[in-house]
Amino acid sequence: MNGNKDDTSSKIGMWLFILSEIILFGGLFILYAVYRFKNPSAFHLAAEELNRPFGTINTLILITSSLTMALSISCVQKGNRRSSLVFLLATLLLGFVFLANKYFEWAGKIHHEIYPDSPRLLERNKGEILFYGLYYSMTGLHGLHVLVGLGVLLFMGILITKRKIDETNFAPLENSGLYWHLVDIIWIFLFPLFYLIP
Amino acid sequence: MPSEISGEVRPEASFFKSKGRFHGIPGWIFSTDHKRIGILYLISILLFFFTGVSLGFLMRLELIAPGPTIMKPQTYNALFTLHGVIMIFLFVIPGIPSIFGNFFMPIQIGARDVAFPRINLLSWWIYIVGAALVILSLFTGGGPVDTGWTFYVPYSLRTTVNVPLAVFGVFILGFSSILTGINFVTTIHRLRSPGMNWFRLPLFVWSLYATAWVQILVTPVVGITLLLTLLERLVGVGIFDPAKGGDPILYQHLFWIYSHPAVYIMILPAMGVISEIIPVFARRTIFGYKAIAFSSLAIASVGSLVWGHHMFVSGQSDLASLIFSLLTFLVAVPSAIKVFNWVATLYKGSIEVKPPLLFGLTFIFLFSIGGLTGLFQGALATDVHLHDTYWVVGHFHYIIFGGTGFALFGALHYWFPKMFGKMVQNTIPYLSWGFLFVGFNILYFPMLILGWEGMPRRYYDYLAQFHTLQLTSTIGSWILIAGLILMFGNLFYSLLKGERAGENPWGSATLEWQIPSPPPKENFEKIPVVKKGPYEYERE
């Protein structure tokens, strides 16, 4: 038996990796929980300044991209290479738009001189400093995961074009899809924590 | 290779000689053969072990007399940090799983390789990159790190030395550990040969399985902690910085959520080795197979919930301390279960004290001292007195060196014939063991007394009243190092000049001993069908 060809193995491996990713972010969620508990009003004040529509749009974008990702996998499984590539491209595009939005959001905040260690931020309440410390760390790490995901999906696109991924061999695409959903789900937790909770 | 599909492979030369895509050194550093990767780890990990030993030797030499002896205080701070970082992250954590786990686990379960051979190779490369970054941090930026291996904030945020690179190096090493863990869990689930059910697994495999779960589940926590420390240094996010509202106690929590279970990553595989060695040299089925197997899982799970006992004096709540203290006492139970079962296995066995067993028995003795001294620290009131003293250093070295270190030496002597196809010269190991055992106790037992008398750890200088014990300890380090030189010298000599080893020189029942020494590239000509347990000698 060659371990490389065992799809169940590679899926188990991927789930274990996802588990470790969840725990990586888990550390940040614990920090968020403790600091929010210690500074409820400062967190509330700081969160008011984040742009809710921006966050909502980004949430919709990522959820849609998860849908197109799933459709892309489904198309490959049915041997529909062309539409699989179209859906994959759509996923890539949506991921890219998400990052662009994030860039403008960050740029806006940085323009108002709110970024880690900025003199303007340091003048404020310690709870607000922490809020923005967590905001930049958590959305930054998440953004990095989106970026890595885009790279992986791009690579999958190349494999589909080269017919290395088709209806007989689609485990790598499925695993990339799992990763993409993970990135999506993490955002679904980040969004209310930073934008919605009063 | 087309023959793989049929499940049968031609009898081949040993994995040392088989030809792959590359020859010479590239044939090794780009090989996905789990045995070659095991040897790569063996070489690199032993190199770091020798480095760590040298640093420890220098520290002991500095402490031979009160006052400055051979170095400046700042050098001493760098030495104990580096000794800790190298020994923990580059030697003991990868140690037994990466060397012997990689080499033997697939063979012991009747597989041709791990589930993800390329990721296995990748994890070695990541290990080398992480190690290189740690080494590079010595010579760049503000120079060698002086924070201690724990990188505690806020000091690690304030000190001018090269914390960022060192922390990043350790962060990278975490990936290597996680990937090995994922690989092992998947392999043990998927690649067991026909008939190899869970209760026919050698106990070494059980211990690796428990360890691998710990690696997957807790390593990411230290990953994020170190990443945030790095961010703190680079952009000042403030999450751990008290000046910006951050809480250093939270750093300690997150750090120990990983670093306490990491102690079990270090000791569990060692316990697995002992469970292999003891039945072979007592010629008896292991006593309490299931108890030993499940106690590995119990240690892994309860051991992940005791981290707060590192923080009894840090300012966490009394309630938290109480709970952590209780759990700490609980985790001693599965360890004791193992010890009792090993001893019970020896009872009425026809014991042959070959070098591997000698090291195995020493493990039980030293680990018991280490375990029992640990309970003193787990008790809330006593810990106030013992915290951050030499007692802790002594306790830790009894567990990690006396335990994992001696188990690793035992594993080397036990599996050497299989790995290299040569027997180890048989009298020198007893002599080197004598030096190691005597040297070890002279080196570390005085530390327990020093700590009890109040000598704080990590101090460059000490009061005159501690001189005798410090001197004794330093002399012990010389004896220990003499033992190491003798032992590794003998192993090296045996590698070159040793007698040829047959398939099964010890008469073991596990699968790795049923194939040629050294194993052929694909391990098994035909995937074996397993019909009996791993320690059934009598029924043969």
Q: What percent of chain B has pLDDT over 90?
A: 92
Beta pairing partners, B286: none
Asked if B219 reaches chain A (Cβ–Cβ under 8 Å), the answer is yes
> Which chain B residues are Cβ-neighbours of A139 within 8 angstroms?
none
Inform me whether the C-beta atom of residue A34 falls under 8 Å from chain B C-beta atoms: yes
Q: Region B9-34: what's the mean pLDDT? A: 81
* B193 vs A contacts (CB less than 8 Å): none
CA distance B424 to B433: 14
Facing residue for B115 by CB, picked from A9, A117, A129: A9
- What's chain A's length in residues? 198
Q: Which residues on A lie below 8 Å from B226 (Cβ)?
A: none
Q: Min CA distance, B180 vs chain A (Å)?
A: 11
Q: Which residues of B touch A23 (CB under 8 A)?
A: 217-218, 220-221
Subunit contact A20:B116, Cβ cutoff 8 A: no
- In angstroms, rounded to a whole number, what is the distance separating the alpha carbons of residues B71 and B405? 28
Which domains can be identified in chain B, with CATH numbers? Answer: 23-514 (1.20.210.10)
Q: How far apart are the first and last CA of chain A?
A: 55
Q: In the predicted model, is pLDDT for residue A102 greater than 80?
A: yes
Ramachandran area for residue B283 (φ above 0: left; ψ -120 to 50: alpha; else beta) = left
* Structure confidence by residue, pLDDT tens digits, A49-99: 999 999 999 999 999 999 999 999 999 999 999 999 999 999 999 999 999
Over residues B510-520, the mean pLDDT reads: 94
**With an 8 Å Cβ cutoff, are B245 and A129 in contact?**
yes
Helices (H), B236-354: 248-282, 289-302, 318-346
Asked if B64 contacts B76 with a C-beta cutoff of 8 angstroms, the reply is no
ipTM: 0.93
What tokens does B116 get?
């993800």
B73-128 pLDDT per residue, tens: 999 999 999 999 999 999 999 999 999 999 999 999 999 999 999 999 999 999 99
Cβ–Cβ under 8 Å, residues B239 and A31: yes
- CA-CA distance, B538 to B540, in Å (whole number)? 6
- Residue carrying the six token digits 């001693």: B332
Report the amino acid identity of residue A84: S
| pLDDT over threshold 80, residue B540 | no
In this complex, which of A4, A20, A30 lies closest to B178 when CB atoms are compared?
A20
Calpha distance B105→B99 (Å, rounded): 10
What mean pLDDT is predicted for residues B399-414? Answer: 97
Q: In this predicted structure, what is the pLDDT of residue B12?
A: 62
Q: What digits encode the pLDDT tens for the residues A8-22?
A: 999 999 999 999 999
A131, two tokens: 């809020």
Domains of chain A: 3-196 (1.20.120.80)
| pTM score of the predicted model | 0.94
Report phi then psi at B180, rounded to 5: -60, -45
- Joined tokens for residue A48: 């008011």
Interface subset of B 152-191, CB within 8 angstroms of A? 178, 181-183, 185-187, 189-191
Binary contact (A129, B224; C-beta < 8 A): no
**Smallest CA–CA distance from A24 into chain B, residue:** B220
Does A25 reach chain B within 8 Å, measured CB to CB? yes
Contact of B424 with B355, CB cutoff 8 Å: yes
